[in-house]
Amino acid sequence: MDRQRIKEIVQEVVQKVLQKPTKVPIAVSNRHIHLSPEHLDRLFGRSYMLSKQKDLSQPNQFAAKETVTLIGPKGKIQKVRILGPARGKTQVEVSLFDGFTLGVKPPIRNSGDIEGSASVTIQGPRGQVTIPEGLICAARHIHMQPSDGDAFGVSDGDYVQVMVDGPRGVIFSNVLIRVSQNYKLEMHIDIDEANAANLKNGQLGEIVAIERQISEGGG
Amino acid sequence: MDRQRIKEIVQEVVQKVLQKPTKVPIAVSNRHIHLSPEHLDRLFGRSYMLSKQKDLSQPNQFAAKETVTLIGPKGKIQKVRILGPARGKTQVEVSLFDGFTLGVKPPIRNSGDIEGSASVTIQGPRGQVTIPEGLICAARHIHMQPSDGDAFGVSDGDYVQVMVDGPRGVIFSNVLIRVSQNYKLEMHIDIDEANAANLKNGQLGEIVAIERQISEGGG
C-alpha cells in the first residue's frame, strides 16, 4: 500500500466523519491601532471624534480616516490606520516584519491579551504617548456566529487547522475559533502570513482538522 | 471513533510506512542578488572583484561585502546583499512584501527560472542597470545530497510538505526537492514565510508528506 493510497483513505475517512462545511473566507489585516478614549484625546486633542473612512466586515467596527506614526528604537512606521470606535485599552497590532522595522519584538497574542506585551511610542498630530504594553502581533483566528460554530462543529476557544491552496499553499495550525453573535464568519491573518501563502483578501481557506477542543460539546 | 483517535491511527500508519529520517534544518533567505559578470562591471566598474564577507552554507557560495540598491516604480530598497561568485544571468530574489515596497510583482519561481519574470532597476556605486526580467520571489525548496535523497526517499524534482512546530506552526506545501553533490541539506524559505511561522534560522522542519514524485524510483 503506497503513501498516495493511504492519503486517499485518510481523506475519505475524515470526510465521512466530519460531514460538515469547511470553507471560510480569509481577510488580511494590515497593521492598525485601537485607541483608548484617553489616548485619542492625547494624540488628537480633547474630545476628538474619529471620522469614518469605511465600515469593516465585523459589525460596528470601522477604519478611521485618521492615522498615527509608530516609533520604536530602530525606526518608525507612518500612516498606521486607527480602527474605531475608541475602546477600553490601546492595542497596536503589527506584523513580525514591522517589529523588525521598529526594533521591538511584539509577542503573538490573541486580541485583548496585552498584559506584559511590547512597548511602543505613538505619535499623533497633537501629541505623543508611549504605551508600556499593548503592542502585539495578532494570533491567527476565525470569527464566527454561534450558528456557524454549530455547523462547523466547533466552539469558542477551540483550535483548528486551515489549509490554503495554490503554488504557495500552506496549512495554518493553531487557528483560534472565536464565537460571538457580534461576529461575521471570517478568518483573520496578517500580512506576513498572507504573503507566505501568496493569499489575497477574500480567498477561501478550508478547515481540515480540529486540533484542540475545549469541550466535547463542540461537535 | 472520535477525530483525535483517527488522527493517532493515521500518524501511526504513516510513521510505520515511512520509517525514514524526516528532519531538515531551515535557513531564512533575506533579499539578495546574483550578478552576471557583465552587470557587476556596469555597477561597480570594469573587472571589479567582489570581496567575501562570509561563506554561505551551500558550498562555494559567499555573501559579498558589496550591496546594491533596488529601485521600483513605488520605492527603493537599500543595502541588498550581493551573493557571489558572479554567474550566468543576473537574478534578484525578494519577498512579496519587498515587491509591495518596490511596486512590482515578483513571480514565485524556482531559482534559475527567470524567463518572463519581473523587471527592476539596480543601482551600484559606478552605474545603474535595468533588467527586463530576473526579479523573482524564490519558491521554497530543500537542498540535499544524493545520499540524503536516498535516506528521505525522495528525488530531485519531487515535492514534499514540511511542518514547523510552535504557537505559529504551519505546514508548508509544494516544497521542491533539489538534489546535487554540491548541496548541503537545508530548507530555504524567505522572510515572509519565516515570520508567518515565527521561525528562526537553523530551526528544524519535519517532512510530513511526499506530495508529488517525478518517478516511482524515488522511494
User: What is the structure's pLDDT at B219?
Assistant: 41
Shortest distance between the Cα of B149 and any Cα of chain A, in A, equals: 17
Helix (H) or strand (E) holding B112: none
Euclidean distance between CA atoms A199 and A39, whole angstroms: 34
Partners of A118 in beta bridges: A135
The values of phi and psi at residue B101, to 5°, are: -60, -45
The values of phi and psi at residue A168, to 5°, are: -110, 35
Assess whether A158 and A200 both reside in one domain: yes
Euclidean distance between CA atoms B57 and A197, whole angstroms: 26
Euclidean distance between CA atoms A149 and A130, whole angstroms: 39
Tens-place pLDDT, residues B182-208: 999 999 999 999 999 999 999 999 999
User: What is the structure's pLDDT at A219?
Assistant: 41
User: What is the structure's pLDDT at A215?
Assistant: 67
Closest to B10 (Cβ–Cβ): which among A10, A95, A210? A10
Is the CB of A196 less than 8 angstroms away from the CB of B198? no
What residues of A are in contact with residue B193 (Cβ under 8 Å)? 195-196
Assess contact for A34 and A90: CB atoms under 8 A.
yes
Assess whether B149 and B169 both reside in one domain: yes
Which of A93, A116, A138 is the endpoint of a domain? A138
- Is the residue at A14 inside a domain? no
SS3 B100: helix
Cα torsion A130, A136, A142, A146 to 10°: value is -50
Tens-place pLDDT, residues B98-154: 999 999 999 999 999 999 999 999 999 999 999 999 999 999 999 999 999 999 999
User: What is the structure's pLDDT at A15?
Assistant: 65
ipTM: 0.84
Assess whether A102 and A195 both reside in one domain: no
Assess whether A108 and A67 both reside in one domain: yes
Tens-place pLDDT, residues B57-109: 888 889 999 999 999 999 999 999 999 998 889 999 999 999 999 999 999 99
- For β-strands A141-144 and A170-179, DSSP reports them as parallel
Closest to B97 (Cβ–Cβ): which among A13, A97, A174? A97
Q: Nearest to residue A87, comparing CAs of A130, A26, A32?
A: A32
The terminus-to-terminus CA distance of chain A in angstroms comes to 32
What residues of B are in contact with residue A3 (Cβ under 8 Å)? 14, 17-18, 209-210, 219
Assess contact for A197 and A166: CB atoms under 8 A.
yes
- Is the residue at B54 inside a domain? yes
Radius of gyration from C-alpha coordinates of chain B? 19
Assess contact for B185 and B143: CB atoms under 8 A.
yes
Assess whether B68 and B114 both reside in one domain: yes
Residue range of the domain that includes A117? 29-138
Closest to B192 (Cβ–Cβ): which among A14, A161, A195? A195
Q: At B133, which amino acid appears? A: E
- Is the residue at B107 inside a domain? yes
For chain B, the domain total comes to 2
Across all residues in chain A, what is the average pLDDT? 92
Is the CB of A97 less than 8 angstroms away from the CB of B192? yes
Euclidean distance between CA atoms A160 and A64, whole angstroms: 32
Tens-place pLDDT, residues A166-183: 889 999 999 999 999 999
Assess whether B152 and B131 both reside in one domain: no
- Give the A window 98-157 contacts with B, CB below 8 Å: 108, 139-140
Distance of CA A156 to the CA centre of its chain: 15
User: What is the structure's pLDDT at A157?
Assistant: 95
Which residue of chain B comes nearest to A95, CA vs CA?
Answer: B195
Is the CB of A13 less than 8 angstroms away from the CB of B6? yes
Euclidean distance between CA atoms B168 and B161, whole angstroms: 16
Assess whether A146 and A109 both reside in one domain: no
B215 touches chain A (CB under 8 A): no
Euclidean distance between CA atoms A197 and B196, whole angstroms: 9
- Is the residue at A15 inside a domain? no
CATH of the domain at A204: 2.40.40.20
Across all residues in chain B, what is the average pLDDT? 92
Which sign does the torsion angle of CA A187, A192, A193, A199 carry?
Answer: positive
**pTM (whole model) above 0.95:** no
| Rounded alpha-carbon distances, angstroms, from residue B61 to B28, B44, B54, B58 | 16, 20, 9, 6
User: What is the structure's pLDDT at B164?
Assistant: 96
Q: Does the pLDDT of residue B3 top 90, yes or no?
A: no
Collect the ranges in chain A with pLDDT lower than 70: 1, 14-19, 215-219
Euclidean distance between CA atoms B61 and B147, whole angstroms: 21
Assess whether B73 and B108 both reside in one domain: yes
